Amino acid sequence: MEKLLEVRDLEVSFLTYGGEVQAVRGVSFDLHRGETLAIVGESGCGKSVTANSIMRLIPQPPGRITNGTIQFKDKELITLPENQMRKIRGVDISMIFQDPMTALNPTLTVGNQLTEGLKQHTSVSAKQAKQKAVELLDLVGIPNPEERLSLYPHQFSGGMRQRIVIAMALICEPELLIADEPTTALDVTIQAQILELFERIQEQTGVAIILITHDLGVVAKIADRIAVMYAGKIIEVGTKKEIFYQSQHPYTKGLLNSVPRLDRREGKLIPIDGTPPDLFSPPAGCPFTARCPKAMEVCDRVYPLETKLSSTHEVECWLQDERANKLLASK
Amino acid sequence: MTKYIIKRFLIMIGTVLIIATLTFFLMHAIPGSPFNEERNSNEVVQANLEAHYHLNEPLFIQYLIYLKSIATLDFGPSIKHPTQTVNDLLGRGFPISFELGIVTILVAVISGIILGVLAALKHNGIIDYLAMTIAVLGISIPNFVLATLLIQKLAVDWDIFPAATWSSPLHMVLPTLALATGPMAIIARLTRSSMLEVLTQDYIKTARAKGLMPYKIIIKHALKNALMPVVTILGTLLAGILTGTFVIEKIFAIPGMGRYFIESINQRDYPVIMGTTVFYSFFLVFMLFLVDIAYGLLDPRIKMHKKEGE
Amino acid sequence: MSMNHLAEKQKKHSPAGNDIPDEWFKPKEKNENDSEKVVRPSLSYWQDAWRRLLKNKLAIGGLVFLIFLTFMAIFGPMLSPYSVSESVRANQNQPPSPSHWFGTDNLGRDVFTRTWYGARISLFVGLMAALIDFFIGVIYGGIAGYKGGRTDNVMMRIIEILYGLPYLLVVILLLVVMGPSLMTIIIALTVTGWVGMARIVRGQVMQIKNYEFVLASKSFGTKTSRIIRKNLLPNTMGPIIVQMTLTVPTAIFAEAFLSFLGLGIQSPYASWGVMANDALGTILSGHWWRLFFPAFFISATMFAFNVLGDGLQDALDPKLRR
């Protein structure tokens, strides 16, 4: 598969009155054409910041990308001038935000908002743009699209609005779609419908998707690969199967144990105690140490090295070190 | 929308009724009120009052007659100027006050919005700091203080603008400036804060994610939403400007309604006070009504809002 | 799988990992509080707000000025040998001098003394207006917001109608009828002034009453009055304080405006509005001090309250925390 996006050593910080918050601390991952990568983690772990960095939508100030590269096809996005970045946004990479209630401008018609991106980036006529909008509303499953174009956002339900937002993101036929918690604000039944829509869209258009979520249920449904983030770092990445059935990092395991699963017999849910560390002064070692049931002395002092378990499965944890295994064996 | 307009209209009628009733009974409650027959030595005045208010009828009938006369915009006679009616005074003074008010609100709205938008776009920058300092000063300095300052500096010391009367566009500069600064400051602050709020909204982020040009994001997506709160306070500002014309006209010797009004207060010319108050209140309440309608037209959600509010 | 896995793992380890001493690979001593460790000290809402207010130099400047003004309003007239209405024929229109720090007016009265009397009037009017607005507004808005439904509907209609009243016109009307006095001004100002406060309180109460912690108290059968006192009020205090701070300059302006129109405090008593009105004719005569001092103190006081109100608004807004 052809590589579409390559993120290396991405670091992002925010300057607040209390000091510098290191929201993203050296994140690297790849994305191939047509695949779905889920970035999973608790709120505040840096997953949304990572997504916004790819779009270069970090508010500056207070935010700043301090290090790293983001290679999209043949372009380096971090150093790309703003006017060129603008030609990528909405055209090559689109983004969907969490709350469909606020993502649409309440004072403009849906048709206006759907077509404005297309009008900005291409030289289509108003009629063609409208036709394209109708096509896309049809694609995302909105009945009577032609009549709906002249309506305002408040005249739609939440699920319908999210469909409109998705149609809006797809109108310039992007190669990458970043969805930041696209189902969090929706009812459970609507969530399932929206996820099915994502699957269908991917089949029909071949768009690659980065799905930002804290919901492992969502991930289980549509992700090809999963990256687990904790305190600004990707601590484990692998295929869906590898993460769900062969996870190695105690945090990933904890995360899986804390949600209900139909494929396991044991009914008990085990929460992870404690809270993530303060990113004003991130710990030198593994940030999960304080909450980790298997923490060792080394975990506090040095950040663990990356261990490659397969061509797709990588984990950053000291338990992978042979000396840790000896210790466990001696017990 | 129709339902909304009807509701606003009923509220307007309610306000007007309250004002009229309040005015009527307050005037009758005054000790030694002009409506007491023995108070008025002047026969002409007494005859005028008699003819207009039917003073020999019971109070309630008088009240109904009064309501009828103000419903037809007839505000009755003056006591101090027996040959004039309140309508004569209004006809002479109000157009001038109206002109001053309109020029002022235009200047205030346009400059206030520009100042506020600039400040929001350069948030925490020098322009923001400067604009907001001007705005707080503008809110803090009472218009009559500013007026005297302007006369002292621009008219007396430097002799740039004429200090008094209302005879040419040049004469309008100082009074307008004195009256517009306060409302301008309020609009600038409101525009800035609502613009800042709107700029953090998700739909602005969405617009940026679409790769729209920055000016388009600001004009099409941000400004329209940011100006909604500004529209809602226009009515209140207009009230402030209208009452502000009283002192401004006094200071600049402008022959508007405000001057007659102050004169009537000092001479305790009750029918004029009463008539002017009611007329101005009608005018303002009507403006408030228009502003509400404008808001309803601007905001497509207004129907929903009203439903939710109930 | 495990054998294969281990072999691969060992191969993959970079040399850097070998620099780490073996003895670090032992279970960490578990500290009970470890996972709950909080790095930054947590501040209460009011501590946090105060800390943020202190950072706002302008707002603190305003606060300091107001403390100074209050002090001078109380003790200022005592510092001067002249009384507020004492006029000395020989001392008319004296410029500021060691004997009359702010000069004298056209009746030979000491502007310094009169200025601090004016401060008393202004602060008194402002604070009284804010306090009365507070009581009426909190009770009215609290009931409307808490009861909701029909009660709220009727109460809000009343407010909407009152809101349409042009307040200065009503105030002028009341003053004409009741005769000019300090009490009349305060009553007249609060007749329409409480509406804004009531609206704010109602909005806050509406929002907060559905929060979990209020529902929780309700489910324990706590009395309504207690819920309002213990739960709702502390959580609505922020916007209320801001509104009060911003009511004061409005009232001060209104008093000065009315006095300037000749409807307020009457000579020989001094208010800043009266002094400014008296001095109006002096622009051409060059007796600048007669206008300057009252004008300066009206503006400075309103400025101080405005910046303090703004600062409080920023400091008390929980959305801005962090």
Domain boundaries, chain B: 1-310
Predicted model pTM: 0.77
DSSP strand pairing (A19-32 vs A93-96): unpaired
Q: What angle do CA B292, B294, B298 make, to 5 degrees?
A: 115
Q: Which residues of C touch B (CB under 8 A)?
A: 153, 157, 160-162, 164-170, 172-174, 176-177, 249, 253, 256-257, 260-263, 276, 280, 283-284, 288, 291, 295, 298-300, 302-303, 306-307, 310
Pair A136, A285 in one domain: no
One domain, residues A38 and A129: no
C-alpha angle B195-B196-B197 in degrees, rounded to nearest 5: 90
Q: What confidence tier does B106 reach under pLDDT thresholds 50, 70, 90? A: very high
Task: Please check whether residue A308 touches C, CB under 8 A.
Answer: yes
Supply angle C-alpha B126, B128, B130, rounded to 5. Answer: 65
| Cβ within 8 Å of residue B49, ≥6 positions away | B34, B35, B40, B55, B76, B77, B79, B271
Q: Kindly report, residue by residue over B35-46, the tens digit of the pLDDT.
A: 554 555 566 666
Any bridge partners for residue B24, and if so which? none
Q: Given a cut of 70, is residue B34 above it in pLDDT?
A: no
Do A180 and A168 share a structural domain?
no
Is A318–C6 a contact, with Cβ atoms under 8 angstroms apart? no
- Looking at A120, A154, A173, the residue that finishes a domain is A173
Which of 1.20.1440.20, 1.10.3720.10, 1.20.1250.20, 3.40.190.10 is the CATH number of B1-310? 1.10.3720.10
User: How far is residue B48's CA from residue B31's CA, in Å, rounded to a whole number?
Assistant: 21
In the numeric block, which tokens belong to residue B209?
């994610």
Q: Using one digit for the tens of pLDDT, what is the confidence trace for C94-140?
A: 677 776 666 777 666 777 778 888 888 888 888 888 899 888 988 88
pLDDT for the residue numbered B110: 93
What integer best gives the mean pLDDT of chain C?
74
Residue B199's nearest CA partner among B218, B175, B224 is B218
End-of-domain residue from the set A151, A173, A195: A173
Residue C283, pLDDT score: 62
Q: Is the peptide bond before A61 cis (omega within 30 degrees of 0)?
A: yes
A44 and A63 both lie in a single domain:
yes
Both A180 and A130 in one domain: the answer is: no
| Predicted pLDDT of residue C87 | 65
- For residue B200, give the 3-state DSSP assignment: coil
Amino acid at B237: L
Interface ipTM:
0.80
- The 3-state DSSP class for residue A40 equals strand
Same domain, A168 and A182: no
Chain segment C189-246, per-residue pLDDT in tens = 888 788 888 888 888 887 777 776 777 777 777 777 777 666 666 667 777 887 888 7
**Domain membership of residue A50 as a residue range:** 3-92+174-330
Residues of A in CB contact (< 8 Å) with B are 55, 57, 86-91, 94-95, 97-99, 102-108, 116-117, 120-121, 152, 154, 165, 168-169
How far is Cα A72 from Cα A53, in angstroms, rounded to an integer? 12
- Best of C177, C250, C260 to disrupt the B interface (most B CBs within 10 Å) is C177
Give the largest Cα separation in chain C, rounded: 112
The residue among B143, B164, B144 whose CA lies nearest residue B154 is: B164
Tell me, yes or no, whether A109 and A135 share the same domain. yes
- Label residue B307 by pLDDT band (50, 70, 90): very low
Please report which residue ranges of A141-296 form alpha helices under DSSP H: 145-148, 158-170, 188-205, 216-222, 240-246, 250-257
Other beta carbons less than 10 A from residue A265's beta carbon? 5
Residue where a domain terminates, one of A130, A154, A173? A173
Beta bridge partners of A5: A31, A72
pLDDT digit string, tens, across residues A184-235: 777 778 888 888 888 888 888 888 999 888 888 778 778 889 888 888 888 8
CATH of the domain at A241: 3.40.50.300
Same domain, A224 and A313: yes
Q: Which residues pair with A15 in a beta bridge?
A: A20
Q: Are residues A128 and A220 in the same domain?
A: no
Distance between C40 CA and the closest CA of chain A, angstroms: 8
State whether A45 and A119 are in the same domain: no
Which chain A residues are within 8 Å of C32, Cβ to Cβ? none
The answer to whether the Cβ–Cβ distance between C276 and B144 falls below 8 Å is: yes
Q: Does one domain contain both A305 and A323?
A: yes
Domain count, chain A: 2
Q: Is the pLDDT of residue B309 over 60?
A: no
Q: Write out residues in chain A with pLDDT < 70, as ranges.
A: 1, 17-18, 261-267, 327-331
